[in-house]
Structure formats: structure tokens, C-alpha cells
Structure 1
């Protein structure tokens, strides 16, 4: 059977989980929702490559593909011989006292050069899972944190306006100790979601190895039973904290039972306790929530003489990974095409940022924070800018622009001027002024294209007249030309004001009425 094809980002994640988090093959497969066979084969190819994990992190996507995209291996005769025994092993394991270890010992007696115990178990489990697909969920200390929002909301009142503000309630629960964290947030939007996740990890004093969110849009861009598509920012947050996101599977109550139980407790122990109180700010509401939360976490479990807090301190606290030195700075992601003027367009700010002219026409990934904008091609950063929120403006690095004599995709200043000259002298002069109005001529290419294309929609003589007016009024912009043609301003100016007489009407009084 051919190996399951996966994208480069997932290959990188396989190596990160294996090298940095020391995840097993099974755990990586569960985390990334791919087959254990594929994980094992990629790790084997990585080992055979002789490269270090650091080497892979420094490679472009294309180079990584060259390392890992190799032909499928031919079938292993030793495995085929072992697989013939699996139906017998299944029956043997149903007998009292028979274990896989015992079966492996007997197998090694017959095949001294056979598989190791771990590979023996791996191959059997793979065969077994094909017959009985499923996933057993265990809760090991420090392993998983389940996160979600409650279905019901709380609120506070604005003391100045009396307006009621509904708020979302964020809930997390540790898998082993079941220690709960709760926080009220203004919304379920990405920024609030990221902040609340970080606050939870700070509350626990460390980071679990995996985070299990429900399939809400803040965490998962596209819900899928087998391979949910993670929100890019949430995925990046996990990398910052050196953990991994494991979305719960839609329509699988077993995945969600723990956090749903936490939500039920929050309703009973926090919502109900605070139902008769009035709050006048989000911070005031959270203070009350956290007070009741401590009561909940310090109350012993039913039928057990230990609380969530005590159990957490005893078995789970020391199993968490350390927090990083700094909190995560939220990043946003956008896939863009470098336009013919050598810039990408950042939709959120309606602003243009330059990329090296060699990337014109190529698709690139833009990653931006509150301060910086980075442009990547093939996983290599090709441009870095300070973020500028001025609409329809350009941020340009001089070195990104081609030399005047160079033709990039056939577009340069000479071509625009020649095109304009075919429409008329005023159009040509206007295009020259438009190109000169920018620090870099390429910044005006898009506007030049827009003006000249108006010659296809309107009469060329009308465009010539409007450009003449624009030059006279020093209104050198595409918008002036477009609006003038749209509103027929040039035609109105051609009319003689003396001919614009008021119509006769019985309600219009003559000058004699004012004597």
C-alpha cells in the first residue's frame, strides 16, 4: 500500500514532536491524525538521511520534499511471515495469562533475527486496529488539557450607561488531576481565545504536552472527523509553548466528556453561586469567578478524600513543561500573490508591502503581528517591514525594486508612458506625473494600470479631457480620474454658465419684488 501523502508542514511537525517533545510514533500519529505507518516511515527516512533536526529546520519546503519524497519501499518478507501469525495471536491473547510479551518470546525462539519487542507490538497493533478501529483515551499526568467555552453566558453592567454586556466563559480541565480553570472573556474571537489559553497555562504553572480544544472557529478553521484544519495562529501559539493541538473529533462524545463535565460543574458551582450578584466590569466578574473557582478546586472529590488541587500538586504539577520566558505575540497569516508592482496587499490594513521583484507573480505567505510584517516564500523569509496601517499606501524597500533598465513581467515606466502616449498628450503627461508622485515608480504601477484601463470603458477623448483637468488642478490620482469620468464632470465644465438659465415658474419672484 502506498504511503499516505502529507504536506511539508506536517512532516516538520512529525520531526518536532519526535525530536523536541519525545513523542512516540503512536502519539504523533494520534496528534496529527495520520497513520502510524506513515509516521514511522518518515522518521526512518529522516534517520537514513544523516541530517540533524536543526538541518531540517533551516531547509526550504522544496529541500525538505527532496529529502522525504522517495519511492515507497518494497514489502518486507520478514513482516509478511509475521503477519501470517496475527490471526492465531488474536485467539491466543483471549486465553488466560497470555500476553504479547509471551508471544514475542516464543516468536524470537523460532526467529532469533526477528523483530524487536517494540516493533513486534507495533505491527500487531497496526493489524489489530485495521480490524477494530478505535482510540482508547487515557489521562496521564501532564499529558492533556481540555479547553472549551460554556454554552451559557454571564454578564456585567456598564456603570455609566447601564448597558448589559454578555461575556463568554472559557473553561479548561487537566486530564489527570481534573484541576479546572475558568475565565470570562469579551468574546470567542481569536485574540480573546489566545489570551485565555495563555492565562490557563500560567494558572497551572506549566504547559501540558497536548491541548484538546473543541472545534470552535477560534481554534479550528475547518472541523473534520479525522483531520481537523487548525487555525494558523493557534498552531503557532502551540509552537511558541512547545506543545501540540489535538482537536476533539466532531460527533465523538467520548473526546469531550471530561470538559463537558467541567462545564456542568462550572454551572453548578460558579454560575449558580453568583446568580444574584451584580458586576460592573469584566475584571470584577473575573475576581468573583476565581474566588468560587478556588472553592471548587479545593473541595474533595465525591467518594475520595482528596481535592483537585491536592491531586494536581501530587501527580501533575511537576509533569508539566516549563513556561517560556515571554508570552506569545499574536500572529496573523495571509497567503498573497506578489503583484506586478512587486508588492503584496495586506487585506486587514488595506496597505501594500514590497517583496523582492524576483518573486513577482508568485504566491507567498505573509505573517504579521501588531508591529511587524514578514513575507515568506518556500519557508524562507524574503521581506521584513514595520507594520503601517495607512490605507492604500505603500511600504517599499528600495532594494526590492528592479533597476530602471530591467523588465519584470514586461512592466516598467517606459511601457506605461508609451501606452499613455497613444491616447493623448494629456494622458501621457498625467501618467508621467503619477509615476513621479511616488518615491518608487513601481508604487504607481497599479494606479497607472487603472487609469489607462479607463480608456477601454470610456471614450479616449473624455479621458484626455479629464487628465487635462487633473493636471490643471494638480489632482494627480486615479480616484480623481475615475470619479470625474463616472460623474461626467468634464462634460459639465464644457457648458457655458450663461446658458444655464433658471426655468420659469410661478413661485419664482422677479427682482421687482425686492424693491
Structure 2
């Protein structure tokens, strides 16, 4: 109706007053409604040809459809053609989910099976009305295996460094297949091109194939310059798409409805995964992704809208329609130049992390080739070192074999190293070395003293050093000099339990010692 709509209860009152024989003036006064509005609704009521009992039996929604719009007459009079079509509509809509299926093809099948049938345009209107979509929004009904939507969550997860307690932000990648609603989630360090490509590759491996197209947001990792007509793609990600035989389709800038499905998936990830992850602490990306994988399986196996799960729907309708993955996985390689510093490490400027190379290359200019997970270092095209990539800033990754022999030995020093060396000689030596390091303000202050005790052991043998450590332990004297003094004076040869002091020992013979006669 052109005028402001009134309540459905008021419409029923107007019709009831009309059947009671009231005139328009009386109905206007009783219902407190304008004269024109009463006339329009009574005119509409007569046009529909329904009885008062039928009107009273209708709920508000049905009454609203009759009086607030102009529905097809068949919906009111229940045309036999529509009754037959109404039974077929659920199967028709389900068939439209399949790749390559259109409303026109479904109409051809319908027309072939019905003698008295609707024409194509009327059939299309009823189908679109059934699924609650206008003709212009039918593109939202995604075909199986057609597209994969990708995005990052706005909120981040965190890793906590065990040594320093430093908290670092972690990005969360989300992918969804619109038809089956199967979701993929993975944590990564950054939104860089390398990490984005790595996450997308793992997503394709998770679903076991390639869709016809990958739809992304306007990330720098996928789009260099956004455009309404022809966006410029990141060359590396475009190459990735070619490797997996899939097209890259960026969303329009500032058009969130273009990626409404993945936005919905992000909200679901917040509810089902983030809430569980936030209750725990993780120090490595591997542990974090392992926890995410368990929660992701629960999400995809849960009943979806009261029907089959996302996983079941994917296996039944979509998996077979994906393109097979290539035999060789795509991996993005990038490179940087660096000079080996005097400490035998190169500074990887991207992450501000330092990696070791053999000490013979100190001062040389090398090439660092890196992926999202590995660091390879080359000198004159010859590989000289390889490390797992570490994203922690201002930290060292050191391979002991790369150090000079004297540096390599010192790099192994720690309390347990010296305790183990002591145990190899005897338990008494291990206990003494442990006490020696504990007596210092910092264990490292005792490393040199421990090394000196071990060197004495090499000179005098295991038995003597064990006895010397036992005697010094009894004295509670934990120094290198205590052990050396005991060994020099052969005190380790005396049994402490049977040790006695004789007169001769009390007063040793010496020309400078005064005798007892001196005091007479």
C-alpha cells in the first residue's frame, strides 16, 4: 500500500466491522483510521475474494504478504501448477549448488516433466522467491569447487618467549570454501607475501585440491594496486596462482559485502578457536598451530545448521570437483646480501635475527636465500650454511660446527656441562664442581675455576682428584686454589678419619725455630 502500513490486527478489525454491516464512516470512527486507508484495505479485501473466516485464520506474516505487497495470485488461490512446483523447489535449489547448473537448465528439466507448466521467467521468479534472493544477488549462491575465500583476522594471537617473557603478536590466516563452508585456519608470523603464499599452499593441501578461483582481500601480499576495473596483482602471488591452475580475484576495495562469507568465518573463528586458545600459553608457532588444528577439526565436524557437518558436505559435494594439486609444491624464494661479521654470524635484516656461518668466511660477502621456514646462505653460489628460520629479533642461531675450535669449546660451557665432566671422573668431583659454581654470584664466574680443577684431574689422575675434592668439600672451601693446595701438600693421601698430629708434625725441625730453652 502507498500509505503508511497499519497493524495486521487493525486490518482484521476493519474487515470484521465491514461484515457487521458498518459503513465506511462508522468503520473510520471505530478503528481510528483514515477514510482513504479504510477504503483501500476494503478494496484490496474484495479483490482477493477471501472470506472473513479465512482472514481471521491467517497469521500476521501471511496477512502482511497479502495486504502489504502484490503477491502472485497463484499464492492465494493455490493454482495447481504452483502446488506441484512447490514440492519440487527444495530439490531445484539444491541442484543449483552444483557447478554449471543454472535456473534455465532446471526450467528445461521441469518443463519436460510437466504438461501444464510455467514459462521460464515465471519459473525463475518463484525459484528466487523461494530462496529469498532477488535476481541480482543470485551470484551469492556459490557453486561447488568454484571459489576459495582468504583473509586474515583483525585480532591476533600471541607467543611468549620462555627465556625473556617477551610477548609477540601472531597473525591468523582464514580460508573458507563458500559452498560447503569448510574452514581452514593457520597462525603465521606476518602478513608478508612469503607467509601468505605459504598459508595459501597449506590451505590447498588441507582441502586436497585447487578451486577455479581464489578470492582475496586487497592485501599487499596479493594486490600491488587495487582498481575497480583491473587490479594489479602481486607478481609472486600471481605466479602461485598459475602454478596451481587457479585464478586470483581480488575483492573490490571498501566493499565488505564482496567477502561477507570469509568475514563470517572470521567471527566463527573468534568464537570457536580464539576463546579456547586465549586460555593457554604457547612459546612456539608449531605448538600453537597444533592446538588450532584440533579445534579446527571440531569446528568442521560439528553439525552445520542442524544438518550434515561442513566436512561431510565438502566430501560429498565439493572435493571431487577440485582440480588436483601439482606434484611439486610451490615455494617462494627471496634473497638478501650480507657480510659475515667477526663473530661468524650474518645479520638477516628482514627479521633482525643473526645466523652463523663457518668461521672461515668471516669478512666475506654472502647471499641469503630465504623462504617462510628456511634460511640458506651461499658464497660464490656454493651453499655454506642452512638454518630453520627464527623470527625472534636480535637473537642468535648458532651451529657449533661453524665456530673455531676454541670458540666451539667455550660455547658449550654451562653448569650442566661441567657437572657432566665431573661425573665422568667421579661423583665426588661432580658434587664439588656444582658447589663451586653455586658459591659464585653467577655460575659463569665459576666456569674457569671448574676448568682448572678438571685440568688438575688430567695431571694427577682420577683417584687423587676425587680425594682432594672430598677433603675440600669437608672444609667447605670451594675454590680452585683449595684443590691445588691439597694436591701440592699431598693432603689427599691422608685419611681424614684416621689423621692425627704427632709432636714432630706439631714442631717441625728448622733452624729458625726457637727451642724450649729459649724461654728459660
TM-score (norm 1): 0.40
**Rg (Cα) greater in structure:** 2
Higher relative contact order, structure no. (Cα contacts within 8 Å, ≥ 6 residues apart): 1
